[in-house]
Structure 1
Amino acid sequence: MSEIRSLHDAVAELIHDGDTVALEGFTHLIPFSAAHEIIRQGITDLTLVRMTPDVVYDQLIGAGAARKLVFSWGGNPGVGSLHRFRDAVENGWPRPLELDEHSHAGMANRYVAGASKLPFAVLRGYRGSDIPTRTDTVSTVTCPFTGEELAAVAALNPDVTVIHAQRADRAGNVQLWGLLGVQKEAVLAASRVLVTVEEIVDGLEPLPGAITLPTWVVDAVAVVPGGAHPSYASGYTVRDNDFYKAWDPIARDRAAFTAWIEENVLNSEGAVAR
């Protein structure tokens, strides 16, 4: 059953050096504040997992928290490259970064297999790609019914999944809606789960298209209003497009990035970075 904790205490309890951590959310509901708390606590040697690593992982990688990235696409959406990501891959700064690259379909199916407690998932994909030659998490399997050769991808079971959501009730049941990604699957695949929310409410009212994560699949809930900034939480906050554009020159320069992290993360005492 989930407990309502401070963000500091929840991160300290659930996320440890060397863990495999998924911070999920697709354009919307990205758990930036939780990522900043990971940086503040100096947690390191992480294997970061995400279908679409964007600015949140650029910050974690640039801060030296990651040793490996498992992903399917990386970029600053609508702007360009992730320069801290590029610097780590091309120059090993602040540390070398190991990569395990997949397609979107491959990553989504890996989460589904993990959530289903299966060792792998099967899909039609990766044909003509060289990705299978560069990872040990893609193989092939022959269908026992048709004889067709299909792609097989190893299950993803993060040690910890972190997501942001709109609200939770006092029992720790979590509700999220709007533009969703693979949050549900990533939560069900993980050993431990932290959810940051905009607010705690007395009861969860049904909403069209909303999903509810029951308390027994969530370890901790932390109330962090604005915790998805610069992404957004439908019904609560809007996307800060100016931040994404401003991030590009900050991330291009090591000194500018380091100064931004020091001012907005390390010395922010948990405030939402703007």
Structure 2
Amino acid sequence: MRTGVVVARIASVAEAVAELVGDGDTVALEGFTHLIPVAAGQEIIRQRKRELTLVRMTPDIVYDQLIGAGCARKLVFSWGGNPGVGSLQRFRDAIQHGWPTPLEIEEHSHAGMANRYVAGASGLPFAVLRGYVGTDLPTVTDTIKPITCPFTGEQLTAVPALRPDVTIIHAQRADRSGNVQFWGLLGVQKEAVLAARRSLITVEEIVDELTPVPGAIVLPSWAVTIVAEASGGAHPSYAQGYSERDNAFYAAWDAISRDRESFTRWLDERVFTATTSGIES
């Protein structure tokens, strides 16, 4: 350990959310297909955080829940839906009818979001890419700007770096020093953590030693603020090597979320009266 380097602490999910997430913060919950930090998202709901700017590539049902619970002021995203099922009904209600509160949106492409995280992690003010040329996104998103390459004169687009106040991800395991290990189908978790001012990593288990896994990524303790054990914390998504995807819940969510009354009842029964152990079906 390097002298003077602050390393990760171990705490409960509730303690971590209370400490790291404040009203009005910009919060990124990242995880692609699996390792989605659902338990932490529900703890944000449980603690009734408000006026959040939520950031996520492919927001799915955990963001539907956060939006429907009134936690969000703004959503920065690329594509949003219930994977394999359809729309996010609470997201749709907030956009179309302002329920429970109006929601501002800032839409990007997947490549744009990924490059914004990379810029944030790299300490750069913006990222440059070709992906927006020929699309209409620059006409509806103010954070997409044309830029001319100083070497070739090519017209490109620039997007500002993402620097969340706090990034939250889920991972398979961490050791007792706070080093985090995760593997399988990954998204931008590493970049989102490195771009953030603070970070919370929920894990399936805390172990004495991280054994090698082919293709695994290790986030060193000095890059992480708090580690919290949350077995099943990605449910209904999955954690490779620990759990399977709960496809039935994704299908059931459409009916639960479509009606305000049934959604509110689900929140009362499954979130506000539950603990940070992930979604209950």
Deviations 1:228-261 (A, max 9, x none): 0000000001100000000000110000000001
User: Normalising by structure 2, what TM-score?
Assistant: 0.96
Determine the structure 2 residue equivalent to 1:267: 273
**Which structure 2 residue ranges, 5 or more long, are not aligned?**
1-6
CA distance in 2, matches of 1:27, 1:271: 19
Match of 2:107 among 101, 112, 117: 101
Write out aligned runs for 1:238-253 (5 A).
238-253=244-259
Determine the structure 1 residue equivalent to 2:178: 172
1:34 correspondence with 2:67: no
Structure 1 residue 184: Cα displacement: 0.4
CA distance in 2, matches of 1:133, 1:115: 27
Deviations 1:167-199 (A, max 9, x none): 000000000000100000000000000000000
Partner AA of 2:154 in structure 1 = E
Identity across the alignment (%): 72
Deviations 1:98-126 (A, max 9, x none): 00000111011011101101000111121
CA distance in 2, matches of 1:89, 1:67: 11
1:216 correspondence with 2:222: yes
Structure 1 residue 270: Cα displacement: 2.8
CA distance in 2, matches of 1:169, 1:2: 10
**Which structure 1 residue ranges, 5 or more long, are not aligned?**
none
Partner AA of 1:66 in structure 2 = A
Determine the structure 2 residue equivalent to 1:162: 168
Partner AA of 1:41 in structure 2 = Q
Match of 2:28 among 22, 34, 37: 22
Determine the structure 2 residue equivalent to 1:70: 76
1:232 correspondence with 2:232: no
Structure 1 residue 269: Cα displacement: 3.1
Determine the structure 1 residue equivalent to 2:149: 143
Match of 2:205 among 199, 205, 226: 199
Determine the structure 2 residue equivalent to 1:121: 127
CA distance in 1, matches of 2:275, 2:63: 20
CA distance in 2, matches of 1:124, 1:49: 22
8 Å contact from structure 2 (residues 11, 226) kept in 1:
yes
Determine the structure 2 residue equivalent to 1:52: 58
Partner AA of 2:113 in structure 1 = M
8 Å contact from structure 2 (residues 36, 170) kept in 1:
yes
Structure 1 residue 127: Cα displacement: 1.8
8 Å contact from structure 2 (residues 80, 88) kept in 1:
yes
1:257 correspondence with 2:256: no
Structure 1 residue 135: Cα displacement: 2.1
CA distance in 1, matches of 2:276, 2:115: 34
Structure 1 residue 8: Cα displacement: 0.7
Deviates more, 1:258-267 or 1:135-144: 135-144
CA distance in 1, matches of 2:239, 2:54: 22
Partner AA of 1:71 in structure 2 = F
CA distance in 2, matches of 1:245, 1:269: 23
CA distance in 2, matches of 1:90, 1:230: 27
CA distance in 1, matches of 2:104, 2:278: 29
Determine the structure 2 residue equivalent to 1:6: 12
Structure 1 residue 16: Cα displacement: 0.3
8 Å contact from structure 2 (residues 233, 277) kept in 1:
no
